Amino acid sequence: MFGQVLVLFFFPTERLPTVRSDRDKFTVYLDVKHFSPDELSVKVTDDYVEIRGKHDERQDDHGYISRQFQRRYRLPSNVNQSAVTCSLSADGVLTITGPKASAQGESVYNEHSIPVTRDNKTNSTADEAS
């Protein structure tokens, strides 16, 4: 319970998306609770990470709804673009992480997709483990 309270303090739903650029990594947190991993695509193109989500019409408590979104974030120049990963927590938070190189080097600009892996932990559980 205490861990959940801390997560709400640090990652309240209305404050997502959150972008953090620490000394050793670049991280993006997105609330994508309405999407499954197969409805999301994440890829690195040049010096950007692009996230897209789309689901067809489905029924909810208020009727029928379809959703789609697209976000793009510029990666810092010292992020190792080929090592960017992402995972989807059980509570619907997509976490995209890119490690930073120890020395600022030349970025390699290429396009590649990043698989969305499902994490059975909630975002609060993942934060407590780190």
List the structure tokens of 85: 């990963």
34: annotated binding-site residue?
no
- Cite the beta strand spans of the chain per DSSP E: 18-21, 25-31, 40-45, 48-60, 63-74, 85-88, 93-99, 112-114, 116-118
Q: Are 107 and 26 in contact, with CB atoms under 8 Å apart? A: no
128: annotated binding-site residue?
no
14: annotated binding-site residue?
no
Angle at 126 (CA atoms; ends 90, 114), nearest 5 degrees:
70
Q: Which residues pair with 58 in a beta bridge?
A: 65
User: Residues marked as binding?
Assistant: 55, 57, 62
User: Residues marked as binding for Zn(2+)?
Assistant: 55, 57, 62
